[in-house]
Amino acid sequence: MQPFVHSNAEIEPCLSVVMPVYNEERTVGRIIEAVLAQRPVQELVIVEDCSRDDTWAALQEWPRRDPRVRLFRHEHNRGKGAALRTGLAQANAPYVIVQDADLEYDPAEYHLLLAPILAGRADVVFGSRFMGGPRRVLYYWHSVGNKVLTTLSNMTTNLWLTDMETCYKLFRREVIRQITIEEDRFGFEPEVVAKVARLGVRVYEVPISYNGRTYADGKKISWKDGVSALRCIIHYGLLR
C-alpha cells in the first residue's frame, strides 16, 4: 500500500477545484490566488451565481492571468447547489474538490484530502473541522446544530462522520459523476452525503483547519438552511 503524500509540492496537477461564488468581491481575488498557488490544481472552475455586487467584474481578469481558470455564470441567482451542479459537470481532472469563495477553508490543505485517495485507500474524502485542526472560535449554537445534523445524517446513512456540513468534499471524478445533484441551496451537503453512502464507496475523513467568519464578515448560512438540511436528511436518507 502506498504511503500518504505529505505536501502539495509532491503532487502532480490532478485536481479540479469547483468554486461557487455569490457576492464575494472582497475575498474572491485572495481565494483564487491561494487556490492557484497549489501545485495539485489542474483547473479552477468558477460558477458566478448572479451576484448583486461587483464579483463578476472582479473575476474577468483571471482567465487572462491563468489559463487554468474557467468562468461560468448563472443569469439568475439559483443557489450554491445549483452552482455546484453547473461546475461539477465541467470538471475534467481525475479528482474534484468543492471550494467556497470566502476565506474559511485553506487551499494549502488540499494535500491532506488528496492523500488517502492517492494512497489507494479512498474514493471520497471529507475534511472535518471537528477532528482536532486549528479553528477560529465562533458560534457555539452553530456547532451544536452541526453536530445534531451530522448525527441524524449518520443515523440514516450508517456513515460515521464528524462533520457532514463541511465544504471540503473531495471525490474521484467518476464517483461524483454518478451522483445527480437535485438541491439548489445548502441542501447539497446532506444530499451528496446520502448519495455517496448509497454508492458504497470508500469514504475517509481527515482533520482540517477552519477560519470561520461572522455574519458581519458576510456569512450567508442561517437557521432556515438548518431546517432545509433536516428536510434533506429525511428525504434523501430515509424516504429514498
The 10s digit of each residue's pLDDT in 173-230 is: 999 999 999 999 889 999 999 999 999 999 999 999 998 755 555 555 665 767 888 9
Class of 8-239 in CATH: alpha beta
Using alpha carbons, select from 124, 125, 126, 240 the residue that is nearest to residue 182.
240
Strand duo 95-98 + 69-73: pairing: unpaired
Query: What is residue 1's predicted lDDT score, i.e. its pLDDT?
Result: 46
Buried b (16+ CB within 10 A) or exposed e, 13-39: ebbbbbbbbbbbbebbbebbeebbebb
**Three-state helix/strand/coil letters over 70-128:** EEEECCCCCCHHHHHHHHHCCCCCCEEEECCCCCCCCHHHHHHHHHHHHCCCCCEEEEE
Extract the residue ranges of the chain whose pLDDT is less than 70. Answer: 1-6, 133-139, 141, 213-223, 225, 240
Q: Are 109 and 208 in contact (CB under 8 A)?
A: yes
Q: Are 61 and 128 in contact (CB under 8 A)?
A: no
The helix or strand, by DSSP H or E, that contains position 33, with its residue range, turns out to be: helix 28-36
For the chain, how big is the Rg over CA atoms in Å?
A: 17
Q: Can you name the residues that pair with 71 across neighbouring β-strands? A: 46
Q: What is the dihedral of CA 104, 106, 107, 108, to 10 degrees?
A: 170
- And the C-alpha cell for 70? 474557467
Question: What is the number of other CB atoms lying within 10 angstroms of the CB of residue 2?
Answer: 9
Query: What is residue 63's predicted lDDT score, i.e. its pLDDT?
Result: 97
Whole-angstrom Cα distance, residue 44 to residue 35? 8
Query: What is residue 132's predicted lDDT score, i.e. its pLDDT?
Result: 75
The helix or strand, by DSSP H or E, that contains position 198, with its residue range, turns out to be: helix 188-199
Whole-angstrom Cα distance, residue 189 to residue 192? 6
Q: Rounded to two decimals, what is the model's pTM?
A: 0.90
Buried b (16+ CB within 10 A) or exposed e, 172-201: bbebbeebebebbbbbbbbbbbbbbbeeee
> If you search the block for the grid coordinates 445534523, which residue do you land on?
149
